[in-house]
Amino acid sequence: MTDPELVETGPRPAVHLERTYDHPIERVWRAVTTPEHLAQWFPTEATMDLRPGGRIRFGDLGDGGSEGEVVAVEPPHRLDFLWGDQRFEFRLEPAGAGTRFTLVHHFDDRAGAASFASGWETCMRALSAVLAGAQPPPPGRAVARHEELVSRFGLDRPEVTRDAGGWHVRFERQLTCPAERAWSIFFGGGDAPGAGEAFHPFAAPGEVLGTVVAADTAKTFVFDTAAGEPGTQVRLHLGPGTGHGARLVLEVDGTDESEIGPAIDQWGGGAIAHVAREAAASNG
């Protein structure tokens, strides 16, 4: 087994996974293209019209079902298809007496890469059981693996930009818990202060981080930083993410270049890492 890779050399990010199965290529091809087999290991049921331009009907993943399109097909070696705005490539090639199966998933949502990769790892383990004629194991949520891949892919690192107004640090982190749980962790289980109130860190209630500009429970929290704190304003947003949980976006604005490092440490290595760690611990 090889570890998944996050590939960022093309126009879109992609995760790349490879597995070798001890089964002939024709058997693996049937398992990755026919409805009765796809239903056992793929994220959802799928019916494919295996010709270029052919339609694909996916089952219900809470969206009522969706459609895709076959882009290219060369049995039993290649299948490229679209699922919404995402593109998938299946490649099969002989590997001794078995078959090497390569799966490449192209997407725009870079912050979801660890979710996609850990999910496909689970699917490919299920495919191994299907090929052996066995019952696939319960999928689980692969929380620990998700967090490992977040670190390996560098998804816990921020984007830093600059313009005429100063510098901007942006973290986007896929969490493994719902937004309500993440909000509770961020505020130490207590209530968030309201607009115009002082924001005290729960671990040091005697300190003041800033003055609250806006607070919408489990959605948005904005405050202007106090003197001595890095940056001028911090904005936290919680919204929909992948199947693992909510998506956290935290942005810090500032003008003093010397405060960029402290802002990254305080909010990335501090607050966000704490939320992600506690979320994973409670959902592992």
Segment 49-104, tens digit of pLDDT: 999 999 999 987 766 668 999 999 999 999 999 999 999 999 999 999 999 999 99
**Nearest CA-CA partner of 216 in 243, 189, 239:** 239
Question: What is the structure's pLDDT at 245?
Answer: 95
Token pair for 238: 């919680």
Q: Where residue 137 falls among pLDDT bands split at 50, 70, 90?
A: confident
Same domain for 61 and 77: yes
Bin 245: left if φ > 0, else alpha if -120 < ψ < 50, else beta.
left
Same domain for 84 and 16: yes
Segment 173-231, tens digit of pLDDT: 999 999 999 999 999 999 999 999 999 999 899 999 999 999 999 999 999 999 999 99
Same domain for 145 and 26: yes
Same domain for 138 and 160: no
Segment 220-271, tens digit of pLDDT: 999 999 999 999 999 999 999 998 999 999 999 999 999 999 999 999 999 9
Mean pLDDT for the chain?
Answer: 95
Same domain for 267 and 229: yes
Point out the domain boundary residue: 93, 125, 152: 152
Question: What is the structure's pLDDT at 284?
Answer: 54
Question: What is the structure's pLDDT at 138?
Answer: 87
Question: What is the structure's pLDDT at 173?
Answer: 98
Same domain for 254 and 124: no
Domain containing residue 104: CATH number? 3.30.530.20
Same domain for 160 and 136: no
Tell me, what amino acid is at 92?
A: L
Evaluate whether 15 touches 120 at the Cβ level (below 8 Å).
yes
Same domain for 23 and 98: yes
Q: Which domain holds residue 257?
A: 156-283
Question: What is the structure's pLDDT at 64?
Answer: 65
Cα separation, 233 vs 76, in Å, equals: 55
Point out the domain boundary residue: 103, 129, 152: 152
Total number of domains constituting the chain: 2
Same domain for 211 and 140: no
Point out the domain boundary residue: 152, 181, 210: 152
Same domain for 42 and 94: yes
216 DSSP β-pair partners? 220
Question: What is the structure's pLDDT at 52?
Answer: 98
Same domain for 175 and 148: no
Same domain for 42 and 141: yes
